[in-house]
Copies of this chain bind each other. A is one copy, B any other.
Amino acid sequence: MTDTFVSNPSFFKLDATLKRIRNYWQKTFDANKKDITVDQWLLIENLYKHKKITHNELARLTSKDITTVSRIIELLVKKELVVREGSPQDRRKVYLQLTPKGSDKYKDVRPLVLDMRKTGWSGLTEHDYTELTRILDAIYQNIP
Seen from chain A, the residues whose Cβ lies within 8 Å of a Cβ on chain B are 1-3, 5-8, 10-22, 24-25, 42, 62-63, 114, 117-126, 128-129, 131-133, 135-140, 142-144
Contact = CB atoms under 8 A, between A and B. Distances in A.
Q: Which 7 A-B pairs have the closest CB atoms?
A: A16-B63, A17-B136, A6-B117, A24-B143, A132-B135, A14-B18, A17-B140
B124 A12 contact: no
B14 A139 contact: no
A21 B139 contact: yes
A36 B68 CA distance: 22
Q: Is the interface of A mostly helix, strand, loop or mixed?
A: helix
Contact of A6 (B13, B63, B121, B143): B121
Given A10-B133, A129-B10, A143 B124 contact: no
Contact of A143 (B7, B120, B128): B120
B138 A20 contact: no
A19 B15 CA distance: 10
B14 A126 contact: no
A139 B124 contact: yes
A118 B15 CA distance: 18
Contact of A7 (B1, B14, B117): B117
Given A2-B126, A19-B63, A143-B24, A13 B120 contact: no
